[in-house]
Structures are given as C-alpha cells and as structure tokens.
C-alpha cells in the first residue's frame, strides 16, 4: 500500500513538473512571438521597473518579457506572488498593500483606522523585509471634509505608531501622491507640498513619497522644478502620459527624457516604474509600448 501511494505521489510530481515545463515553454514561445529587443544595450542611468496591474497578462509572462527588455523590477506585487519574482531574479521596488479594507480612499488620515493599520502594516513590513524588499506603499485616504492641516496631524499620529518598526526592519513606508481632479476625487495626498509637509512632520528617513509624474502634472505641473526642490523626500517615481495616462511618447505633453535627466542629476539611485495604461488591447502591442517607454527613459 505504501509503495502504491509512493508511486502515485511520484506520478503526480512528474505530471506536475511536465505541466509546468509545458506552461513555461508556452510562455517562452509567446514572448518570442512578441519580437522584443533585448535590453543589453541600456545605458544604466535609470533603474527600470513596471507596474503589474497595467498589463492584462499573467504575472509570469510580464516577468519574462521584462527581463528580456532590461527591466529589473515589477511594482505593486503582493507577498503571495513574491515567489514568481524570485523565480526570475526580479526585485519589487514598490510592494503593494491591502487595497480591500484600507487603500486609496481609506487610509491614515482617519484616526479610526490607526490601530488596524498598525496591525496590518507591521505584518506587511515583516513580509517585505523577509523578501529582501525595502519600499511598501501606503495612502492618506480621502478627505471626507477633513482640512489639510488636520489630515497631516492625523496621518502623522497613525504613521508614528509604526515608523519605528519600519526603521528596525529597514523598510520605507511610501505614500503615493495622486491627483484628485481626474482619477481619485477627494484624495488628500494630492499635492507635492502636502506630502512634503507630512514627511517633515513625521521626521523619519523611512517615510517618503512616491512621486507619480502623471498625477502631479495634473495637480501641480512644473515637474522638473519639484523634482529638483523636493527629491530628498521621494523614494520612487511612476510614469504616465498626460492627458489620458497612456503611452509616454509624443502623443502626450510631458518631456520624459528631460524629466529622467533631472531625476538622475539629483543623484537618485532608486527605481522609475512605468505606470501608463497601454492603448493596445493585445499583449504584443502592450509589451511593444513598454519597451518603447523604457527606451524613452533610457537617457545617455
């Protein structure tokens, strides 16, 4: 009986391995069909990442394509998928946080959330640190009638409950700057100046901002000026074409090569992640647009 069970277990393992090999072969064939150029010639001044949510394809397919393009990180991946990134020796430059109970609309500016956020983020910090990653995203929440000064006070109080733990684990909590005009109505951390004041209020190098170029072009403009003046508070950058949040090519108004040059001139050593939503609906078109975006940002 034991021998029979062992035989069945072995057959299952062999079958599973065969299926995995077939799936990987299928993915490799799909990537080959996308006809992507390799990223061996990239100049190396920008560390490239890409946000997983923008692409309607399996994470593993995006990983394989990203490696070929020369991208070394995938943004906004949850701990349950860290093993996929590790399989391809990819970094997660910005770890996702729980968007169901707490997220963009319901965050640190509401004191009623603070205890639960403390419990959640301590666990998320542990998972981030264990994986060897360093940046964990967080959000202010919507105003819901709250004035900006009180929002800073509330966020400071909530984040100070966990920032010491983040420091101990060498993890940086990174609050994303988002626009409240087009995409995230009523979101509080919607101006660079508000986010910088929050950083100063918290007073820890383990709390910084995610400077989303798309969102801040809508809210503040003057992107290069803000990067030069406030770069010490920025842990990470996201891209996106304005208007529309699509490709960062000449169909939109931002000069991304000039923006990348300004980022490099600040001495920034972190990652720039593509977070535009491709206009193409098929995988080949989306990945072609991604490669073009990486080349646009690959400054000399």
Task: Give the number of C-alpha atoms closer than 13 A to the C-alpha of residue 109, restricted to the C-beta side.
Answer: 27
* Beta carbons within 8 Å of 196's beta carbon, 6+ residues apart: 209, 230, 233
Residue-level pLDDT at 9? 53
Per-residue pLDDT of the chain (300 residues; tens, 9 = 90+): 444 444 455 445 444 444 444 555 676 676 665 657 676 789 999 999 999 999 999 999 999 999 999 999 999 999 999 999 999 999 999 999 976 677 899 999 999 999 999 999 999 999 999 999 999 999 999 999 999 999 999 999 999 999 999 999 999 999 999 999 999 999 999 999 999 999 999 999 999 999 999 999 999 999 999 999 999 999 999 999 999 999 999 999 999 999 999 999 999 999 999 999 999 999 999 999 999 999 999 999
Instruction: List the structure tokens of 71.
Output: 């991208």
Residue-level pLDDT at 33? 56
Q: Give the neighbor-by-neighbor strand order of the sheet with 47-51.
A: 73-75, 47-51, 271-274, 234-238, 207-212, 172-176, 135-138
Residue-level pLDDT at 102? 78
The contacts found for 189-192 with CB under 8 angstroms, 24 or more apart, are: 189/139, 189/140, 190/215, 190/219, 191/219, 191/220, 192/216, 192/219, 192/220, 192/226, 192/230
d(CA 222, CA 210): 17
Among residues 239, 235, 272, 210, the alpha carbon closest in space to that of 45 is found at 272
Are the C-beta atoms of 136 and 121 separated by less than 8 Å?
yes
């Amino acid at each position: 009986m034991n021998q029979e069970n062992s035989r069945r277990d072995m057959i299952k393992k062999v079958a599973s391995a065969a299926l995995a090999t077939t799936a990987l072969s299928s993915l490799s064939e799909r990537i080959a069909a996308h006809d992507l150029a390799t990223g061996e010639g990239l100049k190396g001044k920008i560390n490239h990442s890409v946000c997983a949510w923008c692409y309607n394809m399996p994470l593993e397919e995006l990983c394989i394509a990203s490696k070929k393009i020369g991208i070394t990180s995938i943004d906004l991946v949850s701990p349950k998928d860290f093993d996929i990134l590790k399989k391809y020796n990819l970094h997660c430059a910005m770890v996702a946080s729980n968007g169901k109970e707490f997220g963009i609309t319901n965050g640190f500016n509401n004191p009623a959330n603070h205890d639960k956020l403390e419990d959640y983020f301590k666990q998320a910090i542990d998972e981030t640190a264990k994986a060897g990653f360093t940046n964990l995203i967080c959000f202010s929440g919507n105003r819901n009638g709250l004035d900006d000064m009180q929002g800073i006070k509330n966020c400071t109080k909530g984040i100070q409950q966990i920032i010491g733990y983040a420091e101990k684990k060498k993890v940086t909590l990174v609050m994303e700057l988002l626009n409240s005009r087009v995409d995230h109505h009523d979101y509080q951390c919607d101006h660079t100046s508000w986010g910088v004041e929050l950083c100063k209020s918290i007073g820890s190098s383990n709390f910084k901002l995610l400077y989303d170029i798309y969102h801040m072009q809508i809210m503040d403009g003057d992107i290069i000026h803000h990067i030069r003046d406030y770069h010490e508070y920025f842990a990470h950058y996201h891209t996106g074409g304005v208007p529309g949040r699509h490709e960062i090519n000449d169909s939109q108004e931002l000069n991304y090569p000039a923006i990348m040059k300004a980022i490099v001139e600040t001495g920034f050593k972190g990652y720039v992640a593509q977070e535009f939503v491709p206009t193409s609906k098929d995988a080949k078109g989306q990945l072609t647009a991604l490669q073009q975006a990486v080349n646009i940002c690959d400054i000399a």
